[in-house]
Copies of this chain bind each other. A is one copy, B any other.
């Protein structure tokens, strides 16, 4: 569980809630029809914009990003160093027996063990990375678009409220409360966008960057193994992906 995200979210909600509660009447901030317009409108425009499958994938990705731990590039690098040592001692064919839950690494090992040419391996793995980037981009885009649609429907709701209020403007003393209700949808739309959709889109983008770095380490590692480089060279090349400050030394990686 991503603790700081959770703490951040809860803290923000408490802040806004306390601002509302301190004002006295909480009722004036609840409008079920207003919530319906913003939520249903945002969802409907989202389903119209994207494939059904992409929206589901986006919701799933958002769930995973907050519950799954991100992978340390040092671990990936250690794995590649160990595979490199192994393949130099026991031959490239040994890579076929590698068991890993990472589909990309599995595919890389299979291709090397099958004796594919370097250009085929490069192309196949590069396409995998590009496809993943594209899919992740679509997933982030779902939340980015929701972050656009929510305020738009908030404004639409406010426009509806304003037109209803203005078209039967007999009693001026009623303007205030009617206007308050009309503004609520704008409030809902803004809060959904700023506190939920846009941050999730940002979080997913950050996670994609990390995942692509891990894939790049595997990619370059696989090519180095194929070229029969020794572990020191592999370490020099791959460790460049990791900030110098966080880099684990080569010795620790081999011991593991």
> Interface of A with B (CB < 8 Å)?
4-5, 7-9, 11-13, 15-16, 18-20, 22-25, 28-29, 33, 36-37, 40-41, 43-52, 54, 70, 103, 107, 111, 114, 116, 120, 123-125, 127-128, 131-132, 134-135, 138, 145, 149, 152-153, 155-157, 159-169, 173, 175-177, 179-180, 183-184, 186-187, 190-191, 193-195, 198-200, 202-203, 206, 209, 213, 220, 232-233, 236-237, 240-244
Q: Is the CB of A51 within 8 A of B206?
A: yes
Interface centre among A9, A161, A193, A236 (most CB of B within 10 A): A236
For this chain, the copies found in one complex come to 5
CB distance from A160 to the nearest CB of B (A): 6
A131 and chain B: residue at smallest CB distance? B241
Cα(A98)–Cα(B1), bound, Å: 45
Q: SS class of chain A's interface: helix, strand, loop or mixed?
A: helix
Q: How far is the CA of A29 from the CA of B156 in the complex (A)?
A: 13
- Do A4 and B52 touch (CB < 8 A)? yes
**A220–B177 CA distance with the chains assembled, in angstroms:** 64
| Residue numbers in B under 8 Å from A166 (CB-CB) | 176-177, 179-180, 183
Give the Cβ gap from A110 to chain B, nearest Cβ, in Å.
8
Q: List 21 A-B contacts (CB under 8 A).
A: A11-B40, A15-B37, A15-B40, A24-B164, A28-B167, A29-B160, A29-B163, A45-B198, A49-B199, A49-B203, A124-B240, A131-B241, A135-B243, A152-B190, A159-B183, A160-B187, A165-B180, A166-B176, A166-B183, A167-B180, A168-B176
C-alpha spacing A220/B160, complex, angstroms = 53
